[in-house]
Amino acid sequence: MNKDEFSKSYFTWMYNLAFGNHPNYKMLFNTLNNIEFTYIHPYDENRLEDGVSLRYDFCYRNNLPYDVADSYFDNKHCSVLEMMLALAIRCEDHFVSNPIFTVERLFFDMLKSLGIHTMTDRVYDRTKVISSINTFLNREYEPNGKGGLFTIDTDKDLRKEEIWYQMCWYTNTIN
């Protein structure tokens, strides 16, 4: 498999994880896939590592040797898309006994909290998406998480908390 084939297959696989066969978010997905995930909170390095491991999960599920991912990515950093999908998968796995925690729902809820869930291919605004993602990455969102990945009613300032804790608190609010 050459790099173009790998890239297309990987992108399609990730898209299907988040949206199944709904073809309305390709432009948004592409933008999220082209923005590097950076972090301020030291424990969010774990989210970066989860995002990178998504590549190997793809190889495993598609019977590809791991070195295919290594050669394709050639030390490329984790994208925002990879981090978000890996987080949704980890959450679904963590709460396997609760059927409301699906990758699709969690991913869409993150898009909604970021304020970009309406960015379908028909009404796409790349500048707004990039601005929203920069707000998230720079932790310039509201203390309750609005503008970040998870919006919850809390007295805590989510900008100071690692993403995993934010996700756990969020899941407690939708239980």
Q: List pLDDT tens digits, range 119-167.
A: 999 999 999 999 999 999 999 999 999 999 999 999 999 999 999 999 9
Look at the chain and report how many structural domains it folds into.
Answer: 1
Domain extent, residue 113, equals 3-173
Q: How far apart are CA 92 and CA 102, in angstroms?
A: 5
Q: How far apart are CA 112 and CA 88, in angstroms?
A: 14
Average pLDDT over the chain reads 91
CB atoms within 10 A of CB 100: 11
DSSP 8-state secondary structure symbol assigned to residue 35 = S
Q: How far apart are the first and last CA of the chain?
A: 43
Low-confidence ranges of the chain (pLDDT < 70): 21, 95-99, 175
Are 149 and 163 within 8 A, CB to CB? yes
Q: How far is CA 14 from the centre of its chain?
A: 10
Phi, psi of 148 (to 5 degrees): -105, -155
pLDDT at 121: 94
pLDDT at 98: 66
pLDDT at 57: 93
**Burial state string for 30-57 with b = 16 or more CB within 10 A and e = fewer than 16:** ebbbebebebebeebebbbebbbbbbeb
pLDDT at 97: 61
Non-local (6+) Cβ contacts of 121 within 8 A are: 23, 24, 25, 26, 27, 28
Non-local (6+) Cβ contacts of 25 within 8 A are: 15, 18, 19, 119, 120, 121
